[in-house]
């Protein structure tokens, strides 16, 4: 009885939810793509239902939606950083390989797909060592090589000019915005091709927020960026594509300007207009 | 009757008063021990062996034994406590077995030291045939020490925010590497505090040692560094009376006429030893911490 009820309910859900999700045409290069990605915690109700999203290379994609809609759940699955209580079904295609597979080296994936969290989390180490630590854990580098990597990643994150004379200072002595850019530089030092950012500016003041946004836009030419944000203006300002999440479903995925000017689904226009969430 | 401002003032003065009383008691205790003890301390007192029946004995052997036992028991207990704490805080699943284990550790930490001493006596001294020895004593001290040390290191690790672990994971660094290179260095000052507290307990411990390290020491030949010779100071299988045990013994047996003076001197030496150890541990810990974390 119980199981039959469940099936009926889920069929009903799929029928009732109105969705509009674009698929990239073949002339757009795909950095990463999910196929029927379904995620649940502790075997409870799905936090994410059958999600099919393809992200274009060297573009910024925003993930928006109300609290608890599954944005972080989705983002964290992309570099396999989810906890052990997380069950993931479906595929995550990265360079044509399904990385949602036990045989994949998840440490290697995380080095190629960098992640930055809401609260800046530099290590309790010097600015310099924050950047070199993960590198030197894996391979040998000469001092010159390390110096170069530190300089270039700090420059990419637009932090070099502010810290170049005090690289041996503790990273914890930086301001929140500087810490967040250091964390971005630290991820870039590993030469990833995708950068995942989970509300990277929500703990920052407006000025630091602008700096982080500028950094993101500058990074676009070399990286594919997927960013979760609650800030509609931010999504509209920086991103090329936007995906709207609602209760574990992607309701609408389209070019950002379309989402913010003429969304196809009513739920999206309500959310974007600030009518709920 | 009173408004909240007045109540607040009253409460604050009350808390201040209590703090001052505690500080005064401590000051009285420490100054009393030092004032009575320091006049008895001389180079001869520190550097000559004790006497059994006449006055004028020193404490050289006991002092050496105390430091030796402290170091040996720390060498045994710190790695075990560190490993256990890392497992419990970083790896252990949250299930009933682990929570029973944690409760057991808590219970063990309040075990009376005389019980630890008797257990060590029956197990290591008799059953394993280690005899009254530095080895038996340091194992007993390890038993005495482990639960609290494990608990305090575990708490130090737990105080490091999860953000740091997440940062390690996001960079493709394994949990173990993150713990060793990020979490442990960040937790070091607090771990050192735990070790200093544990050492203080060890330095002052008598009950657990009476039946394990024994109440006597052989005549030591300071130049004999053969660890198997019964007269070598570093032989771990010889009996070793510590300062705390010495103080207890000369006062309960009263075979030497100047027992009061010697215990006053020994107490002061013990106290100074605790200070020195505390200072050294913090100094070294701070240096390592600064080096690994760029200060702050
Ligand atoms: N580690 C976890 N264990 C169990 N449930 C979780 C866990 N993380 C998230 N959830 C649940 O999954 C659902 C989706 O959460 P998620 O964090 O992905 O939302 P979000 O869209 O990122 O929200 P926010 O905007 O508040 O960050 C929520 O119902 C949440 O309670
Ligand atoms: Mg989130």
Give DSSP secondary structure letters for A215-233: HHHHHTTT-EEEEE-S-HH
pLDDT in tens, A160-210: 999 999 999 999 999 988 999 999 999 999 999 999 999 998 888 888 888
Give pLDDT, residue B234: 87
> Sorting pLDDT into bands at 50, 70 and 90, what band is B295?
low
Give pLDDT tens digits for B180-223.
Answer: 999 999 999 999 989 998 998 889 899 999 999 988 888 888 88
Of all residues in chain B, what percent carry a pLDDT higher than 70? Answer: 99
For the cut 70, the answer to whether the pLDDT of residue A2 exceeds it is no
Measured between CA atoms, the residue of chain B closest to residue A197 is B170
pLDDT surpassing 60 at residue B127: yes
* Cα–Cα distance for residue pair A84/A220, rounded to 1 Å: 32
Interface residue B180 vs chain A (CB under 8 A):
no
Alpha helices, DSSP H, located in A157-255: 160-163, 176-188, 206-219, 232-238
Q: How confident is the model at residue A13 (pLDDT cuts 50, 70, 90)?
A: low
Which residue segments constitute the domains of chain A, with CATH numbers given?
A: 4-272 (3.40.50.300)
Ligand 1 atom nearest residue A230's Cα:
25
Closest ligand 1 atom to residue A70 Cα is: 18
Choose which residue among A69, A118, A271 to substitute to test ligand 1 binding: the one with the highest number of ligand atoms within 8 A of its C-beta.
Answer: A69
Encoding tokens for residue A207?
A: 């000025």
Instruction: Yes or no: say if B246 and B64 are a contact pair by the CB < 8 Å rule.
Output: no
Which residues are CB-neighbours of B209 under 8 A, at least 6 positions away?
B69, B117, B137, B140, B141, B242, B244, B245
Q: Domain limits of chain B? A: 1-40, 42-293
Instruction: Tell whether the model's pLDDT for residue B76 goes beyond 80.
Output: yes
Dihedral, CA of residue B175, residue B180, residue B185 and residue B186, to nearest 10: 10
Query: Strand A241-246 vs strand A60-65: parallel, antiparallel, or unpaired?
Result: parallel
Pick the more confident residue, A27 or A64.
A64
Superfamily for the B42-293 domain: MetI-like (1.10.3720.10)
**Chain-chain contact of B172 with A107 (C-beta, under 8 angstroms):** yes
Residue B90 banded pLDDT, cuts 50, 70, 90: very high
Ligand 1 pocket residue status of A72, Cβ below 6 Å: yes
Distance from CA of A168 to the nearest CA of B (A): 7
- Mean pLDDT of the region A68-91: 91
pTM above 0.90, yes or no: no
pLDDT at A277: 59
For B174, which residue in chain A has the nearest alpha carbon?
A107
In this predicted structure, the answer to whether residue B285 has a pLDDT above a threshold of 90 is no
């Amino acid at each position: 009885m119980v199981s039959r009820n469940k099936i009926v309910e889920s069929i009903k859900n799929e029928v009732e939810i109105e969705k509009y999700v674009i698929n990239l045409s073949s002339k757009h290069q795909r950095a990463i793509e999910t196929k029927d990605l379904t995620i649940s915690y502790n075997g409870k109700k799905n936090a994410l239902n059958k999600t099919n999203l393809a992200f274009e290379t060297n573009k910024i994609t925003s993930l928006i939606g109300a609290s608890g809609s599954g944005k972080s759940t989705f983002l964290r699955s992309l570099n396999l950083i989810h906890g052990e209580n997380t069950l993931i079904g479906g595929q995550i295609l990265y360079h044509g390989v399904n990385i949602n597979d036990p045989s994949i080296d998840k440490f290697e994936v995380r080095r190629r797909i960098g992640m930055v969290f809401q609260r800046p989390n530099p290590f309790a180490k010097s600015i310099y060592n924050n950047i070199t630590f993960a590198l030197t854990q894996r391979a040998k580098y000469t001092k010159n090589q390390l110096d170069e990597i530190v300089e270039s990643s700090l420059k990419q994150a637009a932090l070099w000019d502010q810290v170049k004379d005090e690289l041996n200072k503790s990273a914890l002595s930086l301001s929140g915005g500087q810490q967040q850019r250091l964390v971005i530089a630290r991820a870039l030092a590993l030469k990833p091709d995708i950068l995942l950012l989970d509300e990277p500016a929500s703990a920052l003041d407006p000025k630091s927020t602008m700096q982080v946004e500028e950094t993101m836009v500058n990074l676009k030419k070399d990286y594919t960026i997927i960013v979760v944000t609650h800030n509609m203006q931010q999504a509209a300002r920086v991103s090329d594509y936007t995906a709207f999440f609602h209760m574990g479903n992607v309701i609408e995925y389209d070019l950002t300007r379309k989402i913010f000017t003429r969304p196809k689904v009513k739920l999206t226009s309500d959310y974007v207009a600030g009518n709920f969430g | 009757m009173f408004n909240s401002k007045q109540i607040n003032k009253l409460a604050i003065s009350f808390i201040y008063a209590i703090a001052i009383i505690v500080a005064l008691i401590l000051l009285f205790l420490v100054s009393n021990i030092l004032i009575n003890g320091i006049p008895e301390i001389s180079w001869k007192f520190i550097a000559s062996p004790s006497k059994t029946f006449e006055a004028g004995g020193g404490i050289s052997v006991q002092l050496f034994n105390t430091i030796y036992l402290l170091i040996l028991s720390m060498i045994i207990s710190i790695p075990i406590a560190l490993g256990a704490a890392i497992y419990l805080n970083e790896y252990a699943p949250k299930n009933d077995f682990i929570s029973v284990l944690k409760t057991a550790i808590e219970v063990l930490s309040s075990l009376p030291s005389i019980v630890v001493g008797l257990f060590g006596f029956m197990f290591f001294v008799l059953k394993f045939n280690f005899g009254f020895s530095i080895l038996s004593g340091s194992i007993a001290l390890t038993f005495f020490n482990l639960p609290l040390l494990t608990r305090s290191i575990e708490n130090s690790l737990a105080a490091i925010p999860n953000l740091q672990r997440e940062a390690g994971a996001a960079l493709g660094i394994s949990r173990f590497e993150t713990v060793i290179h990020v979490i442990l260095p960040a937790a070091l000052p607090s771990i050192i505090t735990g070790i200093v507290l544990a050492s203080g307990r060890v330095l002052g411990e008598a009950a657990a040692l009476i039946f394990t390290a024994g109440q006597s020491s052989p005549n030591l030949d300071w130049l004999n560094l053969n660890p198997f010779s019964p007269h070598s100071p570093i032989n771990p299988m010889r009996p070793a009376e510590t300062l705390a045990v010495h103080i207890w013994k000369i006062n309960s047996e009263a075979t030497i006429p100047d027992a009061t003076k010697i215990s006053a001197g020994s107490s002061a030496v013990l106290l100074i030893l605790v200070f020195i150890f505390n200072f050294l541990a913090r100094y070294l810990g701070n240096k390592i911490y600064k080096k690994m974390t760029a200060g702050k």
